[in-house]
Amino acid sequence: MIVYNVTVKVDLDVHELWVRWMKEDHIPKVLQTGCFKDFKFYRIMEENQSDGMTYAVQYFAKELSDYFDYKEKYAEALQKEALDTWPDKFGAFRTLLREI
C-alpha cells in the first residue's frame, strides 16, 4: 500500500470554505483520476492555531506506479487549480509513504 500524504496549513479566515471545497471538489477530482482507491481527511490537532488550521489528506494507492501516474498526468493541474482558487491562503507539503 502506498500513501500519498498532503499536509496543508490554511488561513483561519477561509479554512471552513476550504474544507468544503476539498470535500466537494478537489478530493473527488483526485479520486476520479483512478490512481487512488481511497482517502482519509484529517484535521491535525495543534495547541496553537492562531496562524491557521492544519489538515492532512491521505490518498491510498495499490502500487507505486499508480502514484507516479498521478504525479505525471494529473498533479500539476490539480495543484495549480488549488493555488488559483486559494491564492496566498495555504501552504502545503507532500510525503510519500509505503506501508510496512
As a whole number of angstroms, the distance between CA 76 and CA 74 comes to: 6
pLDDT for res 13:
95
As a whole number of angstroms, the distance between CA 21 and CA 33 comes to: 18
pLDDT for res 49:
83
Q: Hey, what's the cell of 85?
A: 482558487
Other Cβ atoms closer than 10 A to 38: 10
In sequence order, which residues have a C-beta less than 8 Å from that of residue 33 and are 6 or more positions away?
69, 70, 73, 74
Structural domain boundaries, residue 39: 2-98
pLDDT for res 77:
98
Q: Give the chain's domain count.
A: 1
Q: Which amino acid is at 92?
A: A
Q: Residue 44's domain is classified under what CATH number?
A: 3.30.70.100
As a whole number of angstroms, the distance between CA 10 and CA 41 comes to: 14
pTM for the model stands at 0.94
Task: Per-residue pLDDT tens, the chain, 100 aa: give them.
Answer: 999 999 999 999 999 999 999 999 999 999 999 999 999 999 999 777 888 999 999 999 999 999 999 999 999 999 999 999 999 999 999 999 999 9
In sequence order, which residues have a C-beta less than 8 Å from that of residue 41 and are 6 or more positions away?
22, 23, 27, 55, 56, 57, 58
Report the half-sphere exposure of 62 (CA within 13 A, side-chain side). 3
